[in-house]
Amino acid sequence: MKMKERLASSQRQSLVGILTVFLVVTFCFLWGKVNVDAEDLDIAVQQYINEKVYDLDDGENTEHTRGDHLKLEVRVDSENIDADSISYQWYREGKEINGAKSAIYEVDKGYGREGYSCTVSYGSLRNTYDFELFPSYTLHKIKFFLVVNGKEYDVNRQSLPEIKEGEKFALKATATSDYVEDSQISYQWYDEDGNKLSEEIGGNTSIVQLSKKTRSEEIYKCEISDGNEVSEYPDNRICIPAEKTLTVVRKINGKEQGSILAMKGESITLEVSANTVYEINGKSEITYQWLDGENQKISGANSSVYKIKKEKEEEQYTCVVSDGNMEKEILFEIGLKYSLRVKPYINDMQVSEFKVRKGKKYKINVKATSIYKQGNITYRWYDGIYDEEEDKEPLCDTNGQQYAESEVIITQSDEKNHYYYVEISDGNESKIQEFSLLCEQENIKKISTKAFINGKNYSGDNLGNGEQILYNVPDNNGTYKLEVKATTTTGKELKYSWTKTVPTEDGEDHYYVDIEGATSSVYEVNTLKEADVYTCKITDGEETKYVTFILNKNAGIELISSSVKQNEAQIKPIENKYYVEAGQEVCLEVSAKNTLSDEALTYTWYDNDEDECINENSNSCNVIVPSTKKKYFYCVVSSGKGSEEVDFSLYANDSFKTYIDNQEKNELQVDTFENLILRVEPQISDNDYIYTWKVMQEGGTFEISGDKNKLTLSKQLLDEINLADDKEMYIYVEVNKTSDKNYEEEYEFTLSLNDYTQDAASYINGKQTSEIECVKGTKLVLGITPKQEKEVLTYEWYNEDGEKQTSSSKNTFEIEKNAGEETYYCVVRNSNCSSKYIFKLKEKQCVHNLVKTEAKAATCTEAGNKAYWTCSTCHKVFSDEHGETETTVADMTIAKKPHTEVDDPAVAPTETTPGKTAGTHCSVCNTVLVAQKEIPATGKKQPSDNTNTPNTPMKPSQPSQGNNGTGSTKAPKKDASLKQGTKVTDKKSKVVYKINGNKTVEYNKVNKKAKTATVPTTVKVNGVNYQVTAIAPKAFANNKNLKKVVIPVSVRSIGKQAFSGCKNLKTIIINTPYLTKKSVGAKAFKGIHAKATIKVPKKQKKAYQKFLKSKGIGKKVKIK
């Protein structure tokens, strides 16, 4: 029984020791027996086997080989507790062991699983600690074969033939052991009811002779033992398939297909059309039972037709069809048809990321369109980086209301990066659009590093964060001085710490270990026995940088050649691929020599898909090329000092040729997808082929309507799958045969749109460049020349704040250089694509040509000026003739002098002569300041009158006001880091993390109810940020609800069986580029959905495709 089943079947009793003793002391204190405050206690209880920690939950130190001498121990560490008052009693399988009354009990490991426990008592309180002793894995390479007419079929790797009622067959088991000779391994066969099969038919041997009892499915089991380990049910369960009496065709909305894209609210009819040749008493009966996405029965759904309305993004339904002899599960998948299209903008520019400046305002907005007619588009804005697992922080206005429109105005108040996102929904589809406002000051790297090994620079001028230094070690016993030379622009002290990666006991995983005392920029490696990967962490308190040294051991192996032969004839590879006829046997061969000693090299051959050994101790290996499209093998050549791998990629010659618009190819760049014709042509004509066309979308692959071996991408079809904005399409055709249920081939078409906006040349004043240094006032013409222009391109020009410059819509833009550094953007578009080009304009120091403006005195009619000098080149103004002190014309201007005011007296009018009002003028320039106005003649005698000019009241001046601000400085926080090995649980997501040290954690256990899991880059525990660098062994194992997982860039390793048994896991997005074959544990992805899609970084695609095949993924899993 595998470790997972052992842990699942055992009772896990592990009460925390500190809680137990705390209750004891509290009880005694209340009764006056112990005068100790509970808060002063420091108690821990830990279990050990042979001085090593025993942890059943983690599977640590639980496996041992028969005959091993084991010292079981329960340690109680306490202060202020009388150790003599603690008593112990040991039990075996629940029965008391006489005389076993100390903290230690010694035993020799027996056969199979054994259970011991120790009851620890203190006063009237007690607690029991269990020890589950499992046998170590000594049985390997267990295989089962069905033998029919002398031909063997691998039960776990091949489709089994149909066996009629009464037909004879045999079951065969093979295994190897590390505990006894292979010939001493025992076998016992059982039927489905657990009855032993008799010795007469070989029931106690590796081969049992049988005959088919019925037409139905039959189950047999085999128990295999080497005296230490027992391999039994359910791993050793063999199913002999029922006779194929039932044929089923699935339909959606009347079309023969099993998957469809639809919008929410659409009515969909699922149907199975079944026929049978199985009869009982001359009558046949077919039953139907529909299941939901959780494989739960749908009440009342017992007919061949089931009607639904689309409700969720992804829906699955299964119809279990049975004729009493044979049962089939028919799967229907209803994916979401995309309806929402979103374009992000910052100010006027169509971008989602932009460099911003402090004090400026930026309009972040989305332009969304929808073809869904049943709902309205809604918007919800949030602050921060989008994380599906984290709480959302609404982005609100000054009144505390969350922004719910298509745009938001943001003021950049500091010199830090800020992140926002908006959730857009049209009632059918929801999308997240993220925005990044990046401040250039924040993104300037403060720490620069160079890496040295034994004094030699291996990094160039400056390393990127997380960069790795690969070094081939010339001498495995030599001394290597690793050094990081770092500088920081902050002026703060740099601190260093070192970690190393250490392999687990089984060698399948690695984990990080802090190196105590390693706090300088230099670390000396004296031996490569401990580790071969070392990481230096450098921090100045504001920025942290990591440099990793990978020391490749000198294996002493010189690879001379590798070859593939068929009938002694060597097959020439094409791009490192060997093409062979399916079903043919070929010989793989490696030639190498040992450069370190005269010892012979060893050769071990592996099937890369199954990650299992197929041959040893020979430099050649014969293999059969399967009918599958491709098969990978590799040979490990070992010298005792290390090893080298030699890969072989075998491809079965295609049974079909692929064509795109009559061109024999499966990849093509085009101007439009519309009306393209894809087809596959069989090399051997056969009317028995069945063709199923599919398109890949984010949620998986979905069937589309084709015309047998041909698919036309009509406008109607493109509208149905709604890929109008996508620049790439992946189309698949699956080929089956009606006469051969085991026949299956698949061909892929990759289509991409031509991007004529890329690779254009940038010009400034006719010179091909995108950067220039010139003086202020220089006239510049910025230009873009496309590489080729097969269709109309448009040009949009923007300033450094993303504001559209409407003065030009051509491929050139004229400007005059302003002061300081400037940035301009040109966005080139066609109907499908767009590209952004950046122009950097720096201000050049001018060699001034100064022209003097003479000093001029100010008068009451004209302003004057001090003498100043103007540069005729850059137009800057200086107050000195040497051009050292810059000023402005305004600063050098002398204001006009005030007028010398003289009164012009009023003249009273007479009977015949007009008068005048009082006025004033300047006695220097004679400018009239207050004009005199004529007073008409009176026509009669007037008394004398004084003309008074009323005073204009002054507005009271407003007192100036100021704001007094106070600030406070928080006391620095104490280091709240937890000890290595501590486990913490996120209360919201229920995810368990394990502290690894050096501010890193391991993603340990997941909430098994979650359908989507996004592993975070960092988590905050007790106010301390920890980087998530590993996914624990079995972290997600057997999670039947999990459908999608996202692995971030921070993850360096994935434990063995991390996702094993996640049968509904259909989408895996791997963002980290740091995974290797060693850092991903065995069977990490075994048992995920058979047609899952794994998205990986583009640069690591080939490497990931190669080694992920050996981690348990199925043949139909897509790695893109």
Residue 10 has pLDDT above 50, yes or no: no
Instruction: Note whether 331 and 348 are same-domain residues.
Output: no
Mark which of 718, 753, 788 sits at the end of a domain: 753
Question: Is 671 found in the same domain as 639?
Answer: no
pLDDT of residue 977: 65
pLDDT of 445? 67
- Amino acid 58: pLDDT: 66
- Whether 430 has a pLDDT exceeding 50, the answer reads yes
Give yes or no: residues 96 and 12 share one domain. yes
Among the ranges given (138-142, 177-181, 493-497, 561-565), the one the predictor scored with the smallest mean pLDDT: 138-142
- What was the pLDDT predicted at 40? 32
Which of 651-655, 1067-1071, 1080-1084 is predicted least confidently? 651-655
**Is pLDDT of 213 > 80?**
yes
Mean pLDDT computed over 230-252: 86
Query: What mean pLDDT comes out for the span 382-398?
Result: 88
pLDDT on residue 278: 92
Report whether pLDDT(464) > 70: no
Highest mean pLDDT among 154-158, 317-321, 670-674: 317-321
Mean pLDDT, residues 38-50 taken together: 63
In a domain, 936, yes or no: no
| Residue among 607, 677, 707 nearest 157 (CA) | 607
- Do 796 and 821 belong together in one domain? yes
The pLDDT of residue 1089: 87
Nearest to 627 by CA among 657, 653, 658, 598: 653
Please check whether residues 600 and 665 belong to one and the same domain.
Answer: no
- Which pLDDT belongs to residue 427? 93
Q: What is the pLDDT of residue 909?
A: 81
Residues 6 or more apart whose CB falls under 8 angstroms from that of 124 comprise 27
Task: Identify the CA nearest to 498 among candidates 523, 470, 472.
Answer: 523
| φ and ψ of 125, to 5 deg | -105, 150
Q: Does residue 852 form part of some domain?
A: no
Separation of alpha carbons 567 and 321, rounded Å:
48
CB neighbours of residue 52 within 10 Å: 10
Check whether residue 217 and residue 161 sit in a common domain.
Answer: yes
CA dihedral 763, 764, 768, 769 (to 10 degrees): -100
24 pLDDT band (50/70/90 cuts)?
A: very low
pLDDT band at 42 (very low <50, low <70, confident <90, very high): very low
- Percent helix / strand / coil, the chain, rounded to 5: 5, 45, 50
pLDDT at 1100 over 70: yes
Predicted confidence at residue 550, as pLDDT, reads 85
Residue 772 has pLDDT above 80, yes or no: yes
**Contact (CB, 8 A) for 942 and 909:** yes
**Cα–Cα distance for residue pair 412/600, rounded to 1 Å:** 68
Q: How much is the average pLDDT of 765-776?
A: 92
Could you give the C-alpha distances from 503 to 465, 585, 1004, 1035, 1083, in angstroms and in order? 24, 37, 18, 18, 17
CATH of the domain at 824: 2.60.40.10
Q: Which domain holds residue 635?
A: 557-652
Residue 301 and residue 269 share a domain:
yes
Q: Using a pLDDT cut of 70, give the percent of the chain over it.
A: 88
| Residue 1069 near residue 1047 (C-beta atoms within 8 A) | yes
Cβ atoms of 547 and 494 within 8 Å: the answer is no
Q: Is residue 913 part of a domain?
A: no
**Tokens for 214?**
């019925």
1 has a pLDDT exceeding 80: no
Where is the domain boundary, 309, 336, 363? 336
Task: Confirm whether 890 is domain-assigned.
Answer: no
What DSSP letter does each residue of 865-930 carry, written as one string?
E--EEEETTT--EESSTTS-SEE-HHHHEEPPPPP-EEEE--B---SSS-EE--EEEETTT--EEE
pLDDT at 33 over 70: no
Average pLDDT over residues 220-225: 94
Would you say residue 849 lies in a domain? no
The residues pairing with 327 across neighbouring beta strands, listed in sequence order, are 322
Sign of the alpha-carbon torsion through 689, 690, 695, 700? negative
Question: Is 1054 a residue whose pLDDT tops 50?
Answer: yes
In a domain, 606, yes or no: yes
Residue 99 lies in a domain: yes
Q: Is the pLDDT of residue 826 over 90?
A: yes
Instruction: Give the domain-ending residue among 135, 154, 171.
Output: 135
| 1054: CATH | 3.80.10.10
Same domain? 150 vs 220: yes
Q: Which of 359-373, 470-484, 932-946, 1032-1046 has the highest mean pLDDT?
A: 359-373
**Residue 825 within a domain:** yes
Task: Quote the percentage of the chain above a pLDDT of 90.
Answer: 42
Q: How far is CA 725 from the centre of its chain?
A: 23
- Phi-psi category of 650—alpha, beta or left, where left has phi over 0 and alpha has psi -120 to 50? beta
pTM beyond 0.75: the answer is: no
Return left, alpha or beta for 1100; rule: phi > 0 is left, psi -120 to 50 is alpha, else beta.
alpha
- Match 């201000």 to its residue by tokens: 843
Residue 706 one-letter amino acid: G
User: What is the count of structural domains for the chain?
Assistant: 9
Residue 608 has pLDDT above 60, yes or no: yes
Return d(Cα 793, Cα 829) in angstroms, integer: 6
Residue 78 has what pLDDT?
Answer: 66
Average pLDDT value for residue range 174-193: 93
Per-residue pLDDT tens digits for 569-595:
999 988 788 888 877 889 999 999 998
Q: What is the mean pLDDT of residues 896-902?
A: 90
What rounded mean pLDDT belongs to the chain? 84
| DSSP β-ladder status, 578-580 and 643-652 | parallel
First to last CA, the chain: 35
Query: Do residues 643 and 594 touch, judged by C-beta distance below 8 A?
Result: no
pLDDT over 50 at 25, yes or no: no
Q: Are residues 374 and 387 in the same domain?
A: yes
d(CA 536, CA 500): 9
**In this predicted structure, what is the pLDDT of residue 461?**
60
- pLDDT at residue 492 is higher than 60: yes
**Are 568 and 628 members of one domain?**
yes
The answer to whether residues 10 and 132 touch, using CB atoms and an 8 Å cutoff, is: yes
Which band of pLDDT confidence, cut at 50, 70 and 90, is reported for residue 1037?
confident
Q: Are 48 and 73 within 8 A, CB to CB? A: yes
Q: Are residues 7 and 123 in the same domain?
A: yes
Residue 230 banded pLDDT, cuts 50, 70, 90:
confident
- Residue 485's pLDDT is 92
Three-state DSSP class for residue 477: coil
Pair (235, 289) in one structural domain: no
In this predicted structure, the answer to whether residue 1119 has a pLDDT above a threshold of 60 is yes
Q: For residue 73, what pLDDT is reported?
A: 95
pLDDT band at 809 (very low <50, low <70, confident <90, very high): confident
Tell me the pairing of strands 1093-1095 and 1118-1119. parallel
> Which among 555-559, 599-603, 972-976 has the top mean pLDDT?
599-603
The closest alpha carbon to 38, from 30, 47, 46, belongs to 30
Q: Given this model, what pLDDT does residue 1118 score?
A: 87
Q: What is the pLDDT of residues 829-866, one digit of tens each?
A: 987 788 999 999 998 878 888 999 999 999 998 999 99
Region 882-909: what's the mean pLDDT? 89
pLDDT at 979: 77
Give tens-digit pLDDT for 518-533: 999 999 988 666 567 8
